[in-house]
């Protein structure tokens, strides 16, 4: 098991058609997202237009979560409407990257993307001050045996949105992410890792898990 902290300064900023994207982590680390040569990616993005079109990503599954305001997504495929959904802050939604997706509303969002054959999800949690929580208590989905049996590697991520929390004596400040890389035999070692907020009344964190092969 290996911990890797991604500071705000380490995150790669790029522009997209309707705002700015901050790439938090790309796997493999030598991959090229522009060429779509990657296994999975974690990022945040701003949507600065009232109406925007998401970039089409064939063969990619996407999870998105607005962080500061609600957004409405309209999905279609080959000009046929699939469905619409309005997401409130910290509500997650998964969809296919090759769908035509229109976003209504300005927001900052959190994103997890991964190629076919990879499994993953995202979840929001709120850490109250001086109430330590085991990782298995707040993110039991990451330790579902059906997930770990799929692949040889699992990475759990903890992103702090608006405060500082501590994991295994390592601080995670606002806009930073701690990644826990492990093989599937080490999953139980991560269950008892403790998160604690000693900074403010509450801290909003985004949890991610990705199951994949080397």
Q: What is the pLDDT of residue 211?
A: 95
CATH topology of domain 9-115: Jelly Rolls (2.60.120)
Query: How does 106-116 read in b/e, with b if 16+ C-beta sit within 10 Å?
Result: bbbbbbbbbbe
Condensed to tens digits (0 to 9), the pLDDT of residues 10-19 reads 999 988 877 8
Terminal-residue alpha carbon distance, the chain:
15
- CATH 2.60.120.10 domain residues, the chain: 9-115, 119-212
Between CA 139 and CA 147, with CA 143 as vertex, the angle to 5 degrees is: 120
Predicted model pTM: 0.95
Condensed to tens digits (0 to 9), the pLDDT of residues 99-132 reads 999 999 999 999 999 999 999 999 999 999 999 9
CATH topology of domain 119-212: Jelly Rolls (2.60.120)
């Amino acid at each position: 098991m290996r911990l890797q902290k991604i500071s705000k300064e380490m995150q790669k900023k790029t522009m997209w058609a309707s705002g700015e994207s901050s790439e938090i982590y790309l796997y493999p680390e030598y991959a090229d997202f522009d060429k779509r040569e990657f296994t999975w990616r974690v990022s945040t993005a701003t949507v600065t237009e009232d109406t925007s079109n998401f970039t089409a990503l064939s063969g990619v599954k996407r999870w998105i979560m607005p962080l500061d305001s609600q957004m409405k997504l309209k999905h279609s495929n080959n000009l046929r409407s699939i469905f619409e959904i309005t997401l409130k802050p910290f509500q997650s939604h998964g969809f296919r990257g090759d769908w035509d997706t229109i976003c209504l509303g300005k927001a900052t969002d959190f994103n997890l993307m991964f190629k076919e054959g990879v499994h993953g999800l995202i979840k929001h949690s709120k850490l109250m001050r001086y109430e330590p929580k085991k990782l298995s208590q707040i993110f039991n989905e990451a330790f579902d045996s059906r997930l770990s049996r799929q692949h040889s590697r699992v990475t759990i991520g903890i992103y702090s949105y608006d405060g500082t929390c501590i994991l295994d004596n390592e601080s995670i400040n606002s806009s930073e992410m701690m990644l826990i890389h492990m093989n599937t035999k080490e999953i139980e070692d991560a269950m008892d890792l403790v998160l604690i907020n000693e900074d403010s009344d509450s801290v909003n964190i985004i949890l991610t898990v990705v199951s994949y092969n080397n």
